[in-house]
Amino acid sequence: MELTFLHGEKTSKRVYKHFTINSQTTGSETTEQPKLEFFYIGKQADNIGNLINAFESGYAAESVINAKSMLRRLIANAKHTQLPDIIIVEAPVTVEQLRDLHLFLLLHKPLLSIPVVVEASQATPAEIDRFKNFSFVDEIIFLQDYNRQRLLRKVAFLKRLKLKMALESNTRALESALQISSPASPVLKRAFDILISGTLLLLLTPLFLLIALAIRLESKGSIFYIAKRAGRGYKIFDFYKFRTMFVGADARIKELAHLNQYSGGDAAGAQFFKISNDPRITKVGLFLRNTSLDELPQLVNVLIGDMSLVGNRPLPLYEAASLTTDEWAKRFMAPAGMTGLWQIKKRGKEDMSIEERLNLDIDYADRFSFTYDLWIMANTPSALIQRTNA
């Protein structure tokens, strides 16, 4: 393979470069499929090299100012030039530069459906936290952690997610113009989440204290189980539950793999772990699980915005990593939630397959709205009492 530099552009100030990859055996494109293109804003040669190896074509601009100039030209020539599939901004990047880029994207409608990610390999923890405050940043990545296949799958998913969000935004704008109240309004859903979760946390404080005391008296270890989970758009957050297992339970997953209810699942590539009568569960933990009281700390996740009251369950990272294919990734387009479709339809049933669970998640992703959420919540109480301790 060889890199071709397209001449005739303004290169004296190294405004940008356009890279393409050509076969050494032919001088023309060998596939009719549209090329995947990246747009990189930054100066790290190693990152650009990795992107060139992963994509078929791409652009590199040294600054946001130069990138804006290049993107204007691409939009003007959109009939003959493909817009990039993803925009990657190299950190460290200033707040002013990110705001400038955000405003530019807002003013150019063809760019609104293009995912924007920050490459944070050179960023400090404080800078990474600051990037999370920008809602238009769709993901924070570290390129060295991605091989070609994983990176392209990530880009494909972010493209679908961003397009769906752009379509929803257009729909809300139209409804607002027509003075139509939409039951699917995310503002209404979020307001409801804050009201209910905040109220319940206040009312249930005495119960929280009793549960904490029972857990502490039975076994050593933390009161809460805190683990990383993947929610909407594969966003990772700290997930809270009351601890129901003995300390070190996660380390025994491989040891107990032969008991996995989902072993040999029928959804290609998907990996779930669930055991009936799990020996790692404490006596207090068994009661908490059978009554679903162990889930109550997730009200904190709802209050701070990591989750919603209703949605698809956030998954452990090893499970989420197995669901990046086009077939299953759609379930991550819905909010993460405390309760959802599979909880009220299949919870506690040992005959539930991986494919059934995922199809319920995808069904919710296709249909979710505030009214639908209310229906799910109304049917949740009857599903709270489980028949198994899985």
Q: What angle do CA 379, 275, 347 make, to 5 degrees?
A: 10
Is the domain of 254 the same as that of 336? yes
Distance CA 40, CA 87 (A): 6
Is the domain of 330 the same as that of 249? yes
Confidence of residue 10 (pLDDT cuts 50, 70, 90): very low
In angstroms, how far is CA 64 from the centroid of its own chain? 26
132: CATH: 3.40.50.2300
Find, among 18, 23, 15, 20, the residue nearest to 7 by Cα: 18
Contact in structure between 325 and 153 (CB atoms under 8 Å): yes
- Report helix angle 64-76 to 95-106, nearest 10: 10
Is the domain of 83 the same as that of 120? yes
Find, among 174, 134, 193, the residue nearest to 339 by Cα: 193
Is 388 part of a structural domain of the chain? no
Contact in structure between 380 and 343 (CB atoms under 8 Å): yes
Find, among 62, 146, 75, the residue nearest to 105 by Cα: 75
Confidence of residue 86 (pLDDT cuts 50, 70, 90): very high
Out of 145, 177, 209, pick the residue that ends a domain: 177
Distance CA 280, CA 292 (A): 17
Contact in structure between 152 and 50 (CB atoms under 8 Å): no
Q: Cα dist. 171→175, 177, 265, 312 in Å? A: 6, 10, 38, 23
Is the domain of 153 the same as that of 191? no
Is the domain of 159 the same as that of 198? no
Confidence of residue 200 (pLDDT cuts 50, 70, 90): very high
Higher pLDDT, residue 27 or 60: 60
Q: What's the domain count of the chain? A: 2
Find, among 140, 183, 190, the residue nearest to 306 by Cα: 190
Confidence of residue 275 (pLDDT cuts 50, 70, 90): low
User: What beta strand segments (E) does 150-211 contain?
Assistant: none
Is the domain of 74 the same as that of 166? yes
pTM: 0.52
Least confident of 18-27, 182-191, 200-209, 370-379: 18-27
Is the domain of 113 the same as that of 207? no
Is 390 part of a structural domain of the chain? no
Q: Which two tokens stand for residue 244?
A: 């129901």
Is the domain of 216 the same as that of 252? yes
Is 254 part of a structural domain of the chain? yes
Q: What angle do CA 101, 104, 105 make, to 5 degrees?
A: 90
Return the C-alpha torsion angle 310, 316, 319, 321, nearest 10: 100
Q: Which two tokens stand for residue 45?
A: 């040669």
Is the domain of 13 the same as that of 110? yes
Is 317 part of a structural domain of the chain? yes
Distance CA 336, CA 331 (A): 10
Out of 116, 143, 177, pick the residue that ends a domain: 177
Residues spanned by the domain of 167:
2-177
Mapped onto helix, strand or coil, the DSSP state of residue 20 is strand
Is the domain of 124 the same as that of 229? no
Q: Please state the rounded mean pLDDT for residues 42-50.
A: 89
Q: Which two tokens stand for residue 357?
A: 């669970």
R_g of the chain computed on alpha carbons = 24
Mapped onto helix, strand or coil, the DSSP state of residue 167 is helix
In angstroms, how far is CA 197 from the centroid of its own chain? 22
Is 76 part of a structural domain of the chain? yes
In this predicted structure, what is the pLDDT of residue 195? 95
Return the C-alpha torsion angle 204, 208, 209, 214, nearest 10: 140
Q: Which two tokens stand for residue 311?
A: 């949605």
Is 328 part of a structural domain of the chain? yes
Is the domain of 150 the same as that of 290? no
Q: Please state the rounded mean pLDDT for residues 363-388.
A: 76
Is the domain of 236 the same as that of 128? no
Out of 156, 177, 198, pick the residue that ends a domain: 177
Is 389 part of a structural domain of the chain? no
Is 278 part of a structural domain of the chain? yes
Query: 196: how many CB neighbours lie within 10 A of its CB?
Result: 15
